[in-house]
Amino acid sequence: MKIKFYQVVNVLKNHWVTLFLLILMMYLAVEARKSQDKFRQFTLINESTNLIVKIDKVVSSSIPNTYLYGSDEKSYQILWADNMSYSPKHMCRFVKKGDSIIKRSNSRNIWIYREGKKYHFVLKRRIWN
């Protein structure tokens, strides 16, 4: 069976929307995979972690987690922490380049130092002070 060029063109003409959607879905799947791989390289900060670092760059500040690069050239993922007394209240939106973060091992307390001021968050907790 020989397929002629005009037959291929007719099929493409009749099904262009389906082909476009298929290509779009494949593209989005590849991009989603790249995004997941990007965040796998970040070290998860939990209760047992000791961390003292100055922030070089906040990579993603989407609720609930914070992804950032420290001045020590390492990358960190900090789980959610909210302090309802601050604006913004979510730590992921609160931190910015130049802040220093101190979190001692076996503690949930996170201290952010900015321009001579000290801000308090608690890992995986919402506080009001």
Q: For 37-54, write each residue's pLDDT tens digit.
A: 555 688 899 999 999 999
Which contacts of 35-39 are long-range, i.e. CB under 8 A and separated by 24 or more positions? 39/67, 39/77
- Shared domain for 13 and 70, answered yes or no, is no
Residues 22 and 68 in one domain: no
* Domain shared by 20 and 48, yes or no: no
The Cα 31–Cα 25 span in angstroms is: 10
32 and 61 fall within a common domain:
no
How many domains is the chain built from? 2
Find the domain containing 108 and state its range: 43-127
pTM of the model: 0.69
How far apart are alpha carbons 41 and 28 in whole angstroms?
21
Tell me the per-residue pLDDT of 63-104, one tens digit each, with 9 for 90 and over: 788 889 999 989 999 989 999 999 999 999 999 999 999 999
Task: Kindly state whether residues 59 and 35 are assigned to the same domain.
Answer: no
pLDDT for the residue numbered 125 = 93
Regarding whether 123 and 78 lie in a shared domain, the answer is yes
For residues 58 and 109, state if they share a domain.
yes
At 6-47, the pLDDT tens digits run 777 777 777 778 888 888 899 888 877 766 655 568 889 999
